[in-house]
């Protein structure tokens, strides 16, 4: 990743620490305004500074908007509680339900928004290297990274297989049952051909000493800089101040 934004330049674990503290604060805050009016604008500003605003906002909207609409509909309108806040025809908004919906959505907004921004500004490879440094097995990061490579590959292959099956007469359009029957002939060749490849991959990887118990080296080196320590320090300080404000003042 060549972008030199503030967030992209930070060490992945630093960002993860901050994400953790922000999410924890949202749980403790017990006030929807913290999520909606403090954290959310900050996330948008950070995404804007990073030059990632449009993709970030798109992903966030597609992840949560419909869900939030339903949460409000269900909590505030459909589950009855004592006080009716507002009434229009058959539509009623309950006070307790609205408050519940606001606090729930604000927590989801904070957790979802921060995690999404984390992945939006972190190179997955860097993240895996930093995970290995804290002791996660290199096999785990192999699984994760190769899956990410495999998914687009599989999608391409499944299209090819579907065309091939159509060429030999399998219907992929028509009523529900006909389309359902086309599922198995598309998926099975995909699974079987990739499973048959496993053995070759095992031999290739063992030839490069994949499962040998030694300290692994990386092609790419990433390290914690002094600014990472400052950011973590600020995050902890901020969290302590937040706790003092919440419970003592």
Residues that bind another protein (CB under 8 A): 59, 62-64, 66-67, 70-71, 73-75, 78-79, 100-101, 104, 108, 111-112, 115-116, 119, 124, 137, 139-140, 142-144, 146-148, 150-151, 153-155, 158-159, 162, 172, 176, 179-180, 182-184, 186-188, 190-192, 194-196, 198-199, 201-202, 205-206, 210-211
Which CB atom, from 83 or from 146, has the smaller least distance to another protein? 146
71 and 104 Cβ atoms separated by less than 8 Å: yes
For residue 200, give both structure tokens.
């070759």
CB 226 → another protein: shortest distance, Å?
29
Looking at beta carbons only, is 200 or 221 nearer to another protein?
200
Q: Which two tokens stand for residue 233?
A: 């320090």
Closer CB to another protein, 76 or 235, in the complex: 76
Cα distance between residue 113 and residue 153, in whole Å: 28
> Minimum distance from CB of 3 to another protein (Å)?
18
**Given the complex with another protein, which of 85 and 190 has the nearer CB atom?**
190
Name the residue nearer to another protein (CB basis): 202 or 240.
202
Q: What is the C-alpha to C-alpha distance for residues 217 and 120, in angstroms, rounded to an integer?
A: 26
Closest approach, Cβ 119 to another protein, in A, equals: 5
Phi, psi of 124 (to 5 degrees): -60, -35
For residues 149 and 127, give the distance between their C-alpha atoms in angstroms, rounded to a whole number.
16
Provide, rounded to whole angstroms, the least separation between the CB of residue 4 and another protein. Answer: 22
Cβ 249 to another protein shortest distance, Å: 30
**Tokens for 135?**
């002791």
CB of 42 vs another protein, minimal distance in Å: 17
Spatial distance between the Cα atoms of 41 and 46, rounded to a whole number of angstroms:
9
Q: Which residue pairs, CB below 8 angstroms and at least 24 apart, start in 138-147?
A: 138/216, 139/211, 142/210
For residues 124 and 148, what is the distance between their CA atoms, to the nearest angstrom?
9
- Strand, coil or helix: what is 93? strand
* CB nearer another protein, residue 178 or residue 244: 178
């Amino acid at each position: 990743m060549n972008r030199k934004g503030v967030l992209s330049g930070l060490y992945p674990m630093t960002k993860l620490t901050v994400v953790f503290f922000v999410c924890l604060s949202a749980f403790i805050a017990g006030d929807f305004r913290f999520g909606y009016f403090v954290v959310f604008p900050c996330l948008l500003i950070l995404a804007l500074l990073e030059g990632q605003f449009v993709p970030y906002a798109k992903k966030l909207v597609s992840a949560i908007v419909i869900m939030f609409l339903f949460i409000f509909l269900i909590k505030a309108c459909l589950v009855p509680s004592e006080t009716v806040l507002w009434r229009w025809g058959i539509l009623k908004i309950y006070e307790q339900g609205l408050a519940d919906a606001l606090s729930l959505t604000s927590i989801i907004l904070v957790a979802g928004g921060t995690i999404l921004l984390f992945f939006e500004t972190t190179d997955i490879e860097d993240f895996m290297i930093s995970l290995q440094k804290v002791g996660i097995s290199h096999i785990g990061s192999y699984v994760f990274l190769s899956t990410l490579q495999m998914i687009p590959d599989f999608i391409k292959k499944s299209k090819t297989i579907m065309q091939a099956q159509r060429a030999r007469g399998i219907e992929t359009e028509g009523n529900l049952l006909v389309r359902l029957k086309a599922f198995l002939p598309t998926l099975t060749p995909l699974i079987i051909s990739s499973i048959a490849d496993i053995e070759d991959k095992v031999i290739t990887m063992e030839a490069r000493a994949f499962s040998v118990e030694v300290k692994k080296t990386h092609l790419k080196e990433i390290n914690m800089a002094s600014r990472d320590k400052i950011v973590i320090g600020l995050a902890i300080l901020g969290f302590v101040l937040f706790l003092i404000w919440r419970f003592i003042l």
